[in-house]
């Protein structure tokens, strides 16, 4: 026991020697960082075992929560869900499923909620004999579009899409989003697109060719053609590049566009655009922990920003939390813990969230065995 204690102390001391510093973000007078390294380490460690406590929560909410389909009934593995409210008012969730992530039998499946129950999953037709990944559903008014990736290796994904004009009964023949693209996938990589107040479509995108890098695809013609931005620059306090992927987007009341990113640093990073998403400031570290797993956010009509994430500073996925910010992402309060397990091998991950009035609709991976949903009224 003494050897274990001495080793733990030595690790903490080593970490504290290589201490962190504060750095300035792109917004004036904004300081990020803020923790000494030893406190940073202790907070990250403690975050793994925080449980389902939400000391900040002072909000009455109603939650309907459950499985979209029974675990192991249809698939050995399922992951990376998306959700959309369709033109007929029903909800659709899509996800990839099969034997195991990355295998050639992995396909896109979807299920429809009719106001009471979820339908049995149906497979999306595809002639591609390779793994399918990361579906993203969008309601474009009179039709629903499904974006997804295909490919056996993530760095060489191709993005495809298919449309349904009858709320999921039939689908058009899949097409490449950007014909001939070899950059590792264009368009939305995990999270929903943002339709801005001036009518643009901004797709949160990223590449895993070499270092993780995030960018945005913008369409000014309803999604027919796309122009990509430069990669968003992200560096830590020591000037080292921070790997970022899978952005999530929102637009504030002044028309500025903002993004948060999954990173390899242990923290969520953020970037801001004041020109409609065409250029972005260097990404900066927030005070939100991130376990190198997916996040998603949405802003409701009252100006509140909601975030589903895993505020754990180590790479485990044993906790999933809904948080809210009432000041455009400057400060946050935990609202409720959607899932928690003391089992560090448990996985509650890859959330998707949309809004409709005073209601939030969330789906997420549950132990890779099923997709769960949470319908929340606040």
Report whether pLDDT(14) > 60: no
- 53-377 has which fold? Neuraminidase (2.120.10)
In the predicted model, what is the mean pLDDT of the chain?
89
Over residues 227-242, the pLDDT tens digits come to 999 999 999 999 999 9
Over residues 278-316, the pLDDT tens digits come to 999 999 999 999 999 999 999 999 999 999 999 998 899
Q: How far apart are CA 290 and CA 297, in angstroms?
A: 14
The two three-digit tokens of residue 313, written as one number: 């500073």
Domain ranges of the chain: 53-377
145 Cβ contact partners less than 8 Å away, ≥ 6 residues apart? 137, 138, 161, 162, 163, 223
The two three-digit tokens of residue 310, written as one number: 């895993």
pTM assigned to the model? 0.89
Instruction: Give, in order, the Cα–Cα distances in Å from 66 to each of 83, 92, 160, 358, 370.
Output: 15, 15, 30, 20, 10
């Amino acid at each position: 026991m003494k050897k274990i204690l001495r080793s733990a102390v030595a690790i903490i001391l080593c970490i504290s020697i290589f201490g962190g510093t504060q750095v300035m973000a792109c917004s004036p007078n904004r300081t990020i960082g803020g923790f000494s390294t030893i406190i940073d380490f202790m907070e990250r460690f403690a975050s793994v075992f925080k449980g389902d406590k939400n000391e900040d929560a002072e909000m009455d909410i109603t939650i309907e929560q459950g499985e979209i389909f029974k675990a192991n009934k249809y698939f050995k593995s399922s992951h990376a869900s998306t959700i959309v409210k369709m033109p007929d008012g029903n909800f659709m969730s899509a996800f990839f499923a099969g034997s195991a992530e990355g295998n050639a039998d992995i396909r896109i499946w979807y299920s429809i909620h009719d106001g009471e129950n979820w339908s049995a999953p149906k497979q999306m037709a595809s002639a591609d004999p390779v793994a399918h990944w990361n579906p993203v559903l969008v309601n474009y008014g009179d039709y629903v579009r499904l974006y997804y990736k295909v490919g056996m290796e993530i760095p060489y994904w191709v993005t495809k899409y298919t449309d349904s004009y009858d709320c999921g009964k039939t689908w058009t023949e899949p097409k490449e989003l950007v014909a001939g693209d070899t950059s590792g996938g264009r368009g939305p990589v995990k999270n929903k697109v943002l339709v801005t107040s001036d009518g643009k479509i901004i797709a949160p995108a990223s590449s895993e060719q070499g270092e993780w890098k995030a960018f945005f695809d913008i369409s000014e013609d309803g999604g027919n053609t796309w122009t990509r931005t430069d990669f968003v620059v992200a560096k830590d306090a020591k000037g080292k590049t921070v790997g970022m992927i899978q952005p999530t987007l929102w637009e504030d009341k002044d028309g500025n566009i903002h993004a948060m990113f999954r990173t390899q640093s242990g923290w969520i990073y953020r970037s801001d655009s004041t020109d409609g998403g065409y250029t972005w400031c260097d990404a900066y570290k927030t005070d939100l922990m991130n376990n190198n797993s997916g996040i998603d956010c949405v802003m409701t009509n009252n100006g509140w920003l909601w975030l589903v994430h895993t505020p754990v500073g180590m790479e485990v996925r044993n906790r999933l939390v809904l948080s809210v910010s009432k000041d455009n992402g400057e400060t946050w309060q935990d609202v409720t813990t959607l899932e928690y397990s003391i089992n560090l091998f448990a996985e509650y991950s890859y959330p998707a969230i949309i809004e409709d009035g005073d209601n939030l609709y969330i789906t997420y991976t549950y132990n890779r065995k099923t997709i769960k949903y949470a319908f929340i009224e606040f």
